[in-house]
Copies of this chain bind each other. A is one copy, B any other.
Amino acid sequence: MVSKNEMITFLQSEFPKAQIVIEDFTDNSVVIRHQVRQEDLRPGGTVSGPTMMALADTALYIALLRQIGLVSLAVTTSLNFNFLRKPVADLDLLAECKLLKLGKSLAVGEVGICSEGHEVPVAHATGTYSIPPRH
């Protein structure tokens, strides 16, 4: 099991530009915060879809690597998104990932995304990662 500090160091090294803060980091769920930037916004004062898609993918990746270790070459094989409501432009986004399955070669998880302080989700995703064989 990867510790929270190990994960933070890994993310800073691998994705130095990502505006990600780990909020929760337990067996049951991983919650990450994305600090919304000007470049994430769309006309009309909302956060862009690709920003939320990248965030969901990152939440899945972190929840998975927490379990299988940081050296793995896990790759996304499928992602399904439902966009539910407009996110608020000037609030951070929180993404909570729960793993539904962690098999030997496939992992599946779901992600709910909310604007900070709001209970209703702005987006929901499910995704599958392929886990390469370990040597």
Q: Report A's interface with B, CB cutoff 8 A.
A: 14, 43, 49-50, 53-54, 57, 75-85, 100-101, 105-106, 108, 110, 120-121, 124, 126, 128, 130
Contacts and interface: CB of A to CB of B under 8 A. Distances in A.
Given A75-B83, A77-B82, A126-B80, A50 B57 contact: yes
Nearest to A75: B83
Contact of A100 (B14, B43, B121): B121
Contacts of A57: 49-50
Contact of A105 (B53, B100, B105): B105
Nearest to A55: B50
B83 A76 contact: yes
Contact of A77 (B14, B54, B121, B128): B128
A124 B53 CA distance: 15
Given A53-B79, A78-B78, A84 B105 contact: no
